[in-house]
A and B are shown apart, each in its own frame.
Chain A
Amino acid sequence: MTTSETADGTGVVPSRELGRLEQLPIRRIVLTILTIGLVVIVGGGILKTLTLSGAEHLGWAFWANLVVIGLALGAVYALIALGYTLVYGILRMINFAHGEVFMTGAFVSFFFAQAYAASGFLNRSPWLSIAILLVVSMAVSTGVALLLERICYRPLRNAPRLVPLITAIGASLFLQNTFQGFFGAEPRGYPRPDVLSGTISIGPVSFDKMDPVVFATALIGMFVLNRFVQRTKTGRAMRAVSEDREIASLMGIDVDRTVVVTFVLGGLLAGIAAVLYAMTFGQVSATMGFLPGIAAFTAAVLGGIGSIPGAALGGLVLGVSESVGPYLLLSGVHVPSPFELRAVITFSILVLVLIFRPGGILGTGEAEKV
C-alpha cells in the first residue's frame, strides 16, 4: 500500500508535476468498483436465496440453526486464534506449530476419554470427566507449547524473522509425525457422554446439545483470559512487552518470563479448544491440528493479528461465515453442493477484509510482513 517508495528504494519521491492520469485516485476508484460489484453479487445472492419458494424455501429456523453451529465452531477457532495472536503480539512471529499444540492436547485426552467411556465413568459423571479431560488436555498442550518455546523459539529470539517461522513449520511436522509414529495414522473416535448426545430444541430451532456447551466454555475461557491480561500485573507486563520489548526490559520486566506466560496462556486455550473440538466432531488423529490451525490463523488475521478481542471476533465471524455463508450466498443461484465451497467463501471474506482493512477488523492498521 505504500506509494512513496521509488524504484531504487531510496524512498525519496522526485518532485515534479503529476500527469493527468496520475492525479486520479486509482486506489479509491478500484475499491469503489469492487464495493459496488460485491454489494451486487452478495446482495443478489442473498436476495435470491431468501426469496426461494416452495420446497426450496429455507425457513429462519434453518438459518438460526446454522448460526448456532457457526458460533460453536467459531468459538473453538477463537480459542486457537488467541494462541496465535498472543504470541504474535509479544514476539511478532507466527507460531505455525500451534495447530499441533491443539492436536497433542486432544490426542492425549483421548486416551483418558476412551478409558472413561469403557469404564462407564464418562456417562456416570459426565461433567466431572469432561473437567478432567479439559485439565489433561490443557496440561499437555501447555507442556508442548512450553517445550516449543524453550527449544525452538528462545534460541532464535534475535534471529531474522523468517528463521523462527521455518522452525515453527519444522516443529509442526515433527509433532505430527511423532504422534503418527507412536499412535498410528488412523483416526480414532472420541467418545461423547450420553447427556450431550443428540439434539435439543428451543422453540422451532433445534441443534446439537454439544453446541451451547462449546460456546459457553469457550466464552468463559476468553473472559478469564481477558481479565488476566487486563487486570493482573503479569498481564500488564505482557502488554508492555508487546508494545516494546526492549523498553519493557529496561523498565525491569522479565521478558523471558513474560514470553513463557504467553505460551502457557496459548497452550491452555488450545487445550480447552482441543477437547471441545474432538468431542463435537467425534475424532482425533495426528493430522487433526492442520485445518483448525489454518482456520484459526485466518481468524487471527481477520480480526487483526496481535489483537485479543480481534482474535475472538475473527473466530466467531469465520465460524459463522463458514456455516452460513455458502448456503446464504449460493443456494439461491442453485450452485450444486455449496457446502464444498466453504473454504472459498471464507478465504474470499479474508481477502476482502484485508483489502478494505489491511490490519484486520480490529487491527491497528499496520501492514506487517511475515
Chain B
Amino acid sequence: MQQRTLAAMIGLVVTAMVGVACSSGSSSAPGGGGAADCNTPPGCVTVDAGAPIEIGTLLATTGATKNLGLDSLYGVELAVDYLDGTFDGTDGQLDGHPIKLVNETDGCSADGGQKGEQPLGSDPQMVGVIGTSCSSASLGVADKFFSDKGITIISPSATNPALTSEGTHQPYWFRTAHNDRIQAAVASDFAYQKQGWKTAVTIHDESPYTQGLTDGFKANFEAQGGQVLSEEAVNSGDTDFKALLTKIAQNPPDVIYAPDFNPVCALLVKQMADTSGLENTTYMGADGCSDPTFLSIGGPAANGSFLSGPDLTSFTGGDFYKNDFLPAYKQLAGSNPISVFHAHAFDAMNIMMNAIKQVAVVNSDGSLTIQRSALRDAVQNTNGYQGVIGTLTCTPLGDCATSVTIGVYEVPNVGFKDPNAKPVFTETKTLADVQ
C-alpha cells in the first residue's frame, strides 16, 4: 500500500513539473525586429532573404476520404502556380520569396486533426494554414489549436455551422466553404418544394459535419410542413446497414437524407437496393459524398439518387474556371476534379497570400516580417474579393462565402464527374437568409 501511494505521489509531481515546463514554453513570444510590434503574442514570423514563406495544408489526403483532401490540395497548388499570373507549372513568388507548402493530413477526424496540427503548429516559421477538409478535424481541434498559436487557418470545405457560430468560433479560423445552414436549407427546399416529399428519415454518424446537416435539414423540412419520421445514427466505420434499413423500411419515408462521407453514403445507397420496402424511397446526400467513390461503390444502385453541393456552374469566375482553371487542374491531377472544393481551396489560398502581401514588412536586408495578428485582421478584412467561386467578404465570425449557390445533382450527372453537369435544382441563399 505504502509503495503504491509513493508511486502515485511521484507520478503527480512529475505530471506537475511537465505541466509547468509546457506552459512556460508556450508563453515565450518569439522575438523579432522590424516595424511591426512583435513583442506581444502571438508575435511575428521572420522570413530570411530568399527563404521560402511556409504555408501548411491540413487536408484529408489519406484514408477513405482522400479524394476530398487531394482535390483541395490541387486547388492550393494551383494557387501557388498562378501567383505569377499564369498556370504554367512554375510557382510564382511573393515579395521575392517562394512559397513552400508543408502538407499534413487531417484524417477527416478529430483524432487525425490532432495528429496533423502538431507538426504544423510546432514549426515557428509556419505563416498560415489551409485546412481542414473535415469539420470534425476543425471543431474544437484545429480551430482552437491554431487560434491559440495565432496562426491563421482558412478551410476550403469544413462546413459545420458551429465553426462560425457565436461562442464556438475561434478567432483565427475562416472558411471559403459555405455554411451548412445554407446547404441544409437548400436540401430541404429541394426535398419538400421541388420533389414534393413529405416524409424523411435522417442518418448521421455523430460527426459535426453530418449532424450539422441532418439537424438543419430536420428544422427546415419540418418548418415547411414535412415530417422527419426518425433520426438515425450510425458509426463512421460501419459498413453493414442492413438491419437499420430493414427497420426504416417498416415505415418507408419518401427520402433518406444521409449526408455522410464515402463509403457510408455509397454503401447505404447500395444496400438500400437490396432491402425490400425501400423501392420508393430515394437516397439524398451532400457534398461529403461527392467524390468518384460514390459512383464506383454505389454502382447502378446510385443512379437516381441526389447529392447537394456547391453549384460548379454558378461560379462567378465561370469563364476563368472553365478555360484556365480546369485545364490546369487536369494537367496537375491527370483527371477531372475528384471532388467539389478545389475552387474553394484556390480562393482560400489566394486570400491567404493576398493578406500576407498586405501585412508583410520588407526589411532592408530583404527579409520579411509578418505579424501574426495583423495577418488575421487582413484576412478578416477581405471585402468584395473576386474569387472563382464568387465574391468573398469575410465576416467577423469567419464565414467568407456569405452568398452561396447550392445545387442538387441527380446521379450520375454530377459535378465531380463532369464539371459542366447541370444540377437539377439550384438555389442561392445568403447567410442572413438562414440565421
Contacts and interface: CB of A to CB of B under 8 A. Distances in A.
Contact of B243 (A69, A185, A198, A206): A69
Contacts of B5: none
A340 interface: yes
B267 interface: yes
A187 B263 contact: yes
Interface string A333-344: 000110110110
Interface in A184-205: 184-189, 191, 197-199, 201
Contacts of A323: 242-243
Interface in B65-120: 66-67
Nearest to B247: A327
B305 interface: no
A286 to B, nearest CB: 10
Contacts of B206: 340
B418 interface: no
A164 B149 CA distance: 45
B66 A282 contact: no
B63 A339 contact: no
A217 interface: no
Nearest to A324: B243
B231 A337 contact: yes
Interface string B272-284: 0111110000000
Interface residues of A, number: 42
Contacts of B233: 336-337, 339-340
A187 B66 CA distance: 10
Nearest to A72: B242
B234 interface: yes
A105 B299 CA distance: 22
Interface string B299-315: 10000000000000000
Contacts of A199: 274-276
A69 B246 contact: yes
Interface in B228-279: 230-235, 237, 239-244, 246-247, 250-251, 262-263, 266-267, 270-271, 273-277
Contact of A185 (B66, B239, B275, B297): B66
Nearest to B206: A340
Interface in A59-76: 59, 62, 65-66, 69-70, 73
Given A206-B276, A281-B239, A185 B63 contact: yes
B161 interface: no
Contacts of A206: 276-277
Nearest to A207: B276
Given A187-B64, A282-B271, A323-B242, A337 B232 contact: yes
B368 to A, nearest CB: 38
A123 to B, nearest CB: 12
A206 B279 CA distance: 13
B296 interface: yes
A370 interface: no
Contacts of B299: 189, 191, 282
Nearest to B279: A199
B176 interface: no
Contacts of A342: 243
A185 B64 contact: yes
A327 B206 CA distance: 19
A291 interface: yes
Nearest to A187: B263
A361 interface: no
A148 to B, nearest CB: 24
B354 interface: no
Nearest to B250: A62
B267 A281 contact: yes
A210 B274 contact: yes
B391 interface: no
B298 interface: yes
A299 interface: no
B293 interface: yes
A262 interface: no
A339 B297 contact: no
A282 B276 contact: no
A58 interface: yes
A323 B296 CA distance: 27
Nearest to A338: B247
A63 B250 CA distance: 11
Contacts of A339: 232-234, 241, 243-244, 247
Contact of A189 (B242, B246, B298): B298
A327 B67 CA distance: 35
Interface in A261-286: 281-283, 285
B250 A283 contact: no
Can you list the 5 inter-chain pairs with the closest CB atoms, starting with the nearest?
A189-B297, A206-B276, A199-B276, A337-B233, A323-B243
13 contacts: A69-B243, A73-B240, A186-B262, A187-B293, A187-B297, A189-B270, A189-B297, A281-B267, A282-B267, A283-B267, A291-B237, A323-B243, A339-B241
Interface of A: 55, 58-59, 62, 65-66, 69-70, 73, 184-189, 191, 197-199, 201, 206-210, 281-283, 285, 288, 291, 322-324, 326-327, 336-337, 339-340, 342-343
Interface of B: 62-64, 66-67, 206, 230-235, 237, 239-244, 246-247, 250-251, 262-263, 266-267, 270-271, 273-277, 293, 296-299
